[in-house]
Structure 1
Amino acid sequence: MAVGIMALGVVTILGLLPHGLEMSRKTANEQAETRIVDLIVGEMQSADWATLDLTPKQVRYFDDQGLELVEGEAGGGDFSIMLSYVVQVNIPPLDVRLPNNDGSMTPNQNLRRVMIKMIAAPLRDFNFDAPASTIPVKVFTQLVANTGLANN
């Protein structure tokens, strides 16, 4: 009887193991994605505000921990083994108009929108403008404000 009860407990615990491993993997991915978005938004917040709109689309590469991979730093420039995330950073136009005292609307020059598109796949030449339907693209949008701390 005791062996039967113990066997039932062991089978139940073994059934929960794959679910726990999957949850652990998802949590690690979300932490890496959050680290990447925080890094990029922080860089944009502290960038030169006057040239921020002129920044072209950037493609950046990150490992599974959310740490940026830089060309030439990993084994002579081939970091394909460590590549886990490919990210495109874009600053699309933002037309926010605020009312003046006289009732007219003027464009706000102190806000910028940062759009971050991310895939969790080691595809260096991924086309974010025409993505394959089999690869999910996550899109993060963040507003950054001119705080006056960066070079104006």
Structure 2
Amino acid sequence: MSRSLDICIANQQLTLRDHDRVLKSYSVSTAKNGPGQLKGSECTPTGRHRIRAKIGAGAPINSVFIARRLTGEIYTPQLSAAQPQRDWILSRILWLGGLESGHNRYREVDTTWRYIYIHGCPDQLMQGVPASHGCIRMHNADVIELFDNVEAGCPVFIHE
């Protein structure tokens, strides 16, 4: 598979490509704090990445993850109301790894150890504006569809 992902922070769009052909575009939500590399910044890292791991295959839509593990919970508005401060990671996780030494890989800028993912979130939070804590959020049905159409190792380019 020669697929790749292009994530445009300015447009809040993720584009799935096969070579130069656009297969599908999705609305995303990147970091409320904008682009940036530093650990603890809650910014979305830019540059060349790859999908390091795919997590959650076969899990029900709206399944809840903590630390890349299924909790057994299914997200509902009632669960959200009971835990309003929780940063919901739902349905699937595509864990990213940076490829550019000193920019998004190693030391205080390492995308992998910042735990930057493409993941599902409560669909009502997807307003087409930056709102995450650094990750790339997607509608749940969209992240499941994307998950099923990419492999670990897939190139990901994140830019402004």
TM-score range normalised by the length of the shorter chain: under 0.3
Normalised to the residue count of structure 1, the TM-score between the two structures is 0.22
- Determine which structure has the larger helix proportion and give its number: 1
- Determine which structure has the larger strand proportion and give its number: 2
Question: Which has more radius of gyration?
Answer: 1
